[in-house]
């Protein structure tokens, strides 16, 4: 299926797979290695959401960056997954890490650790990372206004 998608879309198309927690760590390694030659951007949640060590084992054995989604609900989760080496890309949506403030903190933390953010939502969902600059400016502005009105 991935080979067909790559052939039909060409080398410029960005491909990402979402395994929806389908595999054990060893199975995930085999599945990801099988599709790696087709230029996959990232593989989302190949193991159970609560198996952070399994994610770390998979990420240490494959070149395709992993992204946690179902297993990433807070800034604490983001920090732990990054420090364990369990993810190679950060999946961002504002409802998961606790709103836009926490999403921006997660993006900043990941950036300091060398990871790039990736949107996990559709166009009708949360702001995409490329739109985070406006969100960051608006957030700073609202925080500044709130702080200045409180004094």
- Domains of the chain, by residue range, sit at 2-150
Q: What is the mean pLDDT of the chain?
A: 81
pTM: 0.78
Superfamily name and number for 2-150: Enolase-like C-terminal domain (3.20.20.120)
What pLDDT is attached to residue 147?
Answer: 34
Collapsing DSSP to helix, strand or coil, 67 comes out as strand
Mean pLDDT of 128-142: 50
Taking residue 75's Cβ as centre, other Cβ atoms within 10 Å add up to 17
| pLDDT tens-digit readout, 76-133 | 999 999 999 999 998 877 677 778 888 888 888 888 988 877 655 444 344 444 455 5
Taking residue 41's Cβ as centre, other Cβ atoms within 10 Å add up to 14
What pLDDT is attached to residue 95?
Answer: 73
Among the listed ranges 69-73, 74-78, 131-135, which one has the minimum average pLDDT value? 131-135
What pLDDT is attached to residue 132?
Answer: 57
If 0-12 CB within 10 Å is exposed, 13-18 middle and 19+ buried, where does residue 98 land? middle
Among the listed ranges 29-33, 71-75, 96-100, 146-150, which one has the minimum average pLDDT value? 146-150
| pLDDT tens-digit readout, 76-86 | 999 999 999 99
Collapsing DSSP to helix, strand or coil, 16 comes out as strand
> CB of 87 within 8 A of CB of 65?
yes
| pLDDT tens-digit readout, 34-67 | 999 999 999 999 999 999 999 999 999 999 999 9
What pLDDT is attached to residue 51?
Answer: 97
The answer to whether the Cα torsion of 134, 86, 121, 40 is positive or negative is: positive
């Amino acid at each position: 299926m991935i080979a067909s998608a790559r052939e039909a879309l060409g080398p410029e198309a960005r491909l990402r797979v979402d395994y929806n927690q389908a595999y054990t760590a060893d199975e995930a390694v085999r599945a990801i290695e099988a599709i790696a030659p087709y230029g996959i951007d990232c593989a989302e949640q190949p193991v159970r959401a609560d198996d952070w060590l399994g994610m770390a084992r998979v990420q240490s054995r494959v070149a395709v960056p992993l992204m946690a989604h179902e297993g990433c609900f807070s800034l604490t989760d983001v920090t732990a997954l990054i420090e364990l080496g369990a993810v190679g890309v950060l999946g961002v949506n504002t409802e998961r890490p606790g709103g836009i403030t926490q999403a921006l903190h997660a993006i900043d933390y990941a950036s300091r650790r060398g990871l790039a953010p990736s949107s996990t939502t559709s166009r009708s969902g949360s702001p995409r990372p490329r739109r985070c600059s406006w969100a960051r400016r608006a957030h700073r502005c609202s925080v500044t206004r709130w702080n200045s009105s409180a004094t």
